[in-house]
Amino acid sequence: MRLVETLRGHCEAANGSHEIDLFKVMKMATMDVIGLTGFGSDFECSKRLEYSEVAAAFEYLLDDCNVRTSGGSLLDPRQIFYWWPSAQNKTNDTQRRLLRSTIEELMDEKRRSISSVSTGQHTDFLQLMILAQSENRITSEGLVDNLITLFFGGFDTTSITLSYALYLLWRHPEARQQVVNEARTVLTQSEASYDQANQLKYTAAVVKEAMRLFPPAPVTARYTITPLELDGVTIPAGALIYIPIWLIHRTTLNWKDPLDFRPERFLTQQVESAVTSDDETIVPYSWIPFSGGQRNCVGQRFAMLEAPLLLARVVSAMNFDFPDDYDPQPISTGPVQKPGNPMIVTARVRDDGQ
């Protein structure tokens, strides 16, 4: 795996260990995954351990959006009106243009290559979307908007999940060893198949438990379309209801010892289908990191394939030493929460690394 090779290279060049910002490195890895699977384009972030120009634009715009939606100056007109000639708005405009023009170029390239590929051979999401566009099911502008949404939805949340999972595994060496053992049993070749990725049951349980304790989206919201009766209280139609995912995941009403890290709870229970399960051992809707219902996360299955695979690969090859007293101190930025305390860790190649 490329990220592991890069980290190994850095460690070897620095006599065995190398200091990294783990959350940033996980972002680079997930950006590359979305670039390759969504756009058929290699951003090469984890190869160079730095953001490419387009990846940096994504990162900037995401942070800027978070600042505008959760910053302290929500009534500042410069933050609300993008046409206001402020330095922040100018940078936003430059980065947005860069992003859209890069995506348009990728689309043009893809359109040219598609003409030589038969329609049965879909290689990435962009190709599928372009085919939909050619059937007039979406406009060109709508296509770019959707690709950007997909990218934004896809990389930040998954990197937050991975970062917390790595933190939790550092705190729980016995769980870490189980992930290593599973990775070495299942991932026997340099490229993993879909079936192999699905065999990473324990690692997937670690990912789920990390998302239970630290759901990347701590809250979501819905409007009621009809009056709703809850515990004797009637909520009228048209009301905005906030759904506190973080609390739902951490309450004793839903979970035994909710603050304990115990991936095993996800091995015995069908939590992935919890929202529809009638399994009495699980409270429906008690695990909703991807939200629920018709507008839940479209990337759930993709994320549950990607995150365990990345985690297994990285953990079986590398050790990450956090500062002894490290505490992530989550902070909310826009729609997500993430580690507020930078994850500056020492990366080392595992002594028993393969």
Distance of closest approach, residue 162 Cβ to ligand HEM, in angstroms? 8
Q: Which of these, 188, 185, 167, lies nearest to 176 by C-alpha position?
A: 167
Verify binding: residue 328, ligand HEM, rule CB under 6 A. no
Q: Which DSSP symbol is given to 136?
A: T
Residue whose pair of structure tokens reads 């297994």 in the numeric block: 312
Verify binding: residue 286, ligand HEM, rule CB under 6 A. no
Q: What DSSP assignment string belongs to 314-335?
A: HHHHEEEEPPTT----EEEETT
Distance of closest approach, residue 70 Cβ to ligand HEM, in angstroms? 16
Distance of closest approach, residue 175 Cβ to ligand HEM, in angstroms? 19
Verify binding: residue 23, ligand HEM, rule CB under 6 A. no
3-class state of residue 295 by DSSP: coil
Verify binding: residue 39, ligand HEM, rule CB under 6 A. no
Asked if 311 and 44 touch (Cβ cutoff 8 Å), the reply is no
Distance of closest approach, residue 161 Cβ to ligand HEM, in angstroms? 4
Verify binding: residue 41, ligand HEM, rule CB under 6 A. no
Asked if 215 and 249 touch (Cβ cutoff 8 Å), the reply is yes
How are the residues of the chain apportioned to helix, strand and coil, as percentages rounded to the nearest 5?
55, 10, 35
Q: By CB under 6 A, name the one of 41, 95, 127, 161 that touches ligand HEM.
A: 161
Q: By CB under 6 A, name the one of 150, 197, 282, 314 that touches ligand HEM.
A: 150
Whole-angstrom distance, CA of residue 98 vs CA of residue 60: 12
Point out which span in 214-222, 225-233, 258-266, 315-323 binds ligand HEM (CB under 6 A).
214-222
Point out which span in 56-64, 154-162, 265-273, 326-334 binds ligand HEM (CB under 6 A).
154-162
Asked if 341 and 328 touch (Cβ cutoff 8 Å), the reply is yes
Of 29 and 349, CB closest to ligand HEM = 29
Residue of minimal Cβ distance to ligand HEM: 299
Q: Which DSSP symbol is given to 74?
A: T
Verify binding: residue 299, ligand HEM, rule CB under 6 A. yes
Residue whose pair of structure tokens reads 């759901």 in the numeric block: 215
Query: Applying CB under 6 A, which residues contact ligand HEM?
Result: 149-150, 153-154, 157-158, 161, 211, 216-217, 220, 289-291, 295-299, 302-303, 307
